[in-house]
Structure 1
Amino acid sequence: MSVEERAPLTRERVLAAAMRVVDAEGIKALTMRRLGAELGVEAMSLYHHLPGKEALLDGLADALIAEIQAEAALRVDAAGWKERLRQTFLAARVVMLRHPWAPGMLGARTTVPARLFAYYDGIVGTMTGGGLSHRLAHRAVHAFGTMALGFTQELFRPEAAGGAADVDAAEADLTAMAAALPHLTAMVAAEAHDAADPVLGWCDGQTEFEFTLALILDGLERGAAGQR
C-alpha cells in the first residue's frame, strides 16, 4: 500500500486526484469510479466528501479559483491598480493554460463557486482602492467578463456545434469558404495564430487576451479621470 493510499481521505485530497485525472484524460473521463481507482478506494467512500458528480464538478470549480488566487499571490507585485489587475488576470491565464479543460467546465456550471465572491471582491477592492468609483468598478467587472478568470468567452466555438475543436482545422475550414466570406477569410489569414502563442479556443490566444486586457484597462484609466 502506497503512502497516498494510507493517507486519510479528505475533500482536498479527492479534488486533487480529480484534477490529476482530468488533466491527464479529460473531463469526460471523470467519474466517481475512475476517481476511486485513482485514490485506491471504493467509489462509495467518496460520497461522504463530495455527494455526486455535480458536487464534484462544483468542487473542481472552487479548486480552480483557489489555484488562481495562489498563482496571483505569487506573481502580483505591482503597486498601481491597473498593473495589479493586469498581473492578476495574467496569473489566471497561467492556470487556464495549465488546465485547458477549465474554461469549458467553468462556463457550464450553474452554481457560483464558493471562492468566486472573495476573488471578485478583491478585484473590486483593487479598483476602488486605486480611486475608481463603485459605479465604474461595476462597469469594469462587466467589461472584463471571463477575462478575470484567464480566458475569453467566445461567441462561437466550433466544438460546441459538433465541429473541429482544433484551432488550425477550424481556420482551415473558414479559409475553404474564401469566396463566400472574403472579409473573415482575410482576417483569419492576417491573424493566424503563431505556433508559440498559447491558445485556449478558436480565437482565444495569448496575443488577443493581452491586447483586449490592455484596451479595457486603458479605457478604465481614462474613465477614472472623469469618474462618470
Structure 2
Amino acid sequence: MAKKTVASAASTAARPGRRERRDVRREAAVEAAFSLAEREGVAGLSMRRLGQELDVDAAGLYRLFRDKDELLLAMAERTIAMILDDLGEVAEDEPWQDTLRRIAEGTWQVQTRHPAVTILTFARTTGGPAEQRMVELILSAFARSGLAPDQAVLHYRTYVDTALGLCAHSAALNSLDPDVREKDETTWTRIYARLPEAAHPVTRSHIDELTRVTQKAIYDTAVEAVLAATERAGTERRNVSS
C-alpha cells in the first residue's frame, strides 16, 4: 500500500499543473496565430478563424485570452522574444552602439519573416517580460553613451519609434498584393523618370539613384542617424562637464 501511495504521489507531481497546461495552450495558440496571419494576411486573423485553425471552439480561446487584443499583445511579446533570442548575450564591454545595431538588425529580420504580425503588433506596448528585458537592454545602452537621463530617454524613444515605424512601413509594403506592390515600386521609372526635365531638373538628375534605394538602406541610415545624434549629445555633455 505504501508503494502504491508513493507511486501515486510521484505520478501526480509529474503531471503538469493547470497553469502550466494553460501556458502550453496559449503558446500553441500564439504559434497558430502567427501562421494564420502570415498565410491569410492581417484581415485573416480572428478568434473564430484561430479556433478553426486549432480545431477548437472559439469560446475555448476566450479562456486563454480575454479578447483578441490580449492575443495581439501575446504575439507582440513573441516577436520581442524572437529578437532577444537572435541577440543572445550582451557582453558588458560591448560598445553601446554595437548593442543597438544588433537589436535594430534583429528587429528588421523579424519583420522580414513576419510582415503581417509586424503590422498587427509593432505599434503596441505589452508591458510583458520580454518587453521589460528589451527596455532594460536599450535604456542601458543609451545610459552607457554618457547622456543625461532625460536625453537618454529621448534618444531611446526616438531609436525605438524610428526602428518600429520603418519596420512597420516595410512590412505594409511587403504585405501588398504583388501587382499593387509592383505598381508602387515602378512608379519611379514609370512616372518620375519621364517628368519634364525643365520643370524637374533635380529629380531627373537623381532618378537612377532614386530607383536603387532600398527599404533596408533607409532603415540602416535612420538607425545610424539616431546613433550619431546620441554620440554628439554625449560628447557635448562631457565637454560641458569638463
TM-score, normalised via structure 2 length: 0.69
Give the equivalent residue in structure 2 for 1:192: 211
Q: By how many angstroms is 1:84 displaced?
A: 0.9
Of 134, 139, 148 in structure 2, the residue corresponding to residue 133 of structure 1 is 148
Are residue 215 (structure 1) and residue 190 (structure 2) matched? no
Give 3-state SS (helix, strand or coil) of 1:128's partner.
helix
Give the equivalent residue in structure 2 for 1:170: 184
Give the equivalent residue in structure 1 for 2:36: 21
Select between 210-219 and 130-139 the one with higher mean Cα deviation: 130-139
Give 3-state SS (helix, strand or coil) of 1:44's partner.
helix
1:94-105 equivalence runs, <5 A: 94-105=109-120
Mapped partners of 2:103, 2:173: distance in 1: 29
Mapped partners of 1:64, 1:172: distance in 2: 31
Are residue 122 (structure 1) and residue 137 (structure 2) matched? yes
Q: By how many angstroms is 1:69 displaced?
A: 2.1
Residue type matched to 1:114 in 2? G
Mapped partners of 2:206, 2:158: distance in 1: 24
Give the equivalent residue in structure 1 for 2:18: none
Give 3-state SS (helix, strand or coil) of 2:186's partner.
helix
1:26-45 equivalence runs, <5 A: 26-45=41-60
Select between 112-121 and 213-222 the one with higher mean Cα deviation: 112-121
Unaligned runs of 5+ in 1: 1-7, 198-204
Residue type matched to 2:217 in 1? T
Residues 46/158 of structure 1: CA separation in 2 closer, same or farther (3 Å cut): closer
Tell me if structure 1 keeps the 8 A contact 2:119–2:168. Answer: no
Residue type matched to 1:170 in 2? D
Give the equivalent residue in structure 1 for 2:100: 85
Select between 169-178 and 21-30 the one with higher mean Cα deviation: 169-178
Give 3-state SS (helix, strand or coil) of 1:51's partner.
coil
Q: By how many angstroms is 1:87 displaced?
A: 0.8
Residues 93/99 of structure 1: CA separation in 2 closer, same or farther (3 Å cut): same
Are residue 11 (structure 1) and residue 26 (structure 2) matched? yes
Mapped partners of 1:37, 1:188: distance in 2: 49
Give the equivalent residue in structure 2 for 1:224: 234
Residue type matched to 2:210 in 1? E
Count residues in correspondence: 205
Tell me if structure 1 keeps the 8 A contact 2:26–2:64. Answer: yes
TM-score, normalised via structure 1 length: 0.73
Residue type matched to 1:214 in 2? E
Of 61, 64, 67 in structure 1, the residue corresponding to residue 79 of structure 2 is 64
Tell me if structure 1 keeps the 8 A contact 2:34–2:75. Answer: yes
Q: Which deviations, in whole Å up to 9, do the C-alpha atoms of 1:20-78 show, x marking residues without a partner?
A: 1112221211122221222222221111001222222222222222222222226x567
Q: Over aligned residue pairs, what C-alpha RMSD do you find?
A: 3.3
Over the matched positions of the two proteins, sequence identity in percent amounts to: 23
Q: By how many angstroms is 1:185 displaced?
A: 6.3
Mapped partners of 1:189, 1:103: distance in 2: 31
Unaligned runs of 5+ in 2: 1-20
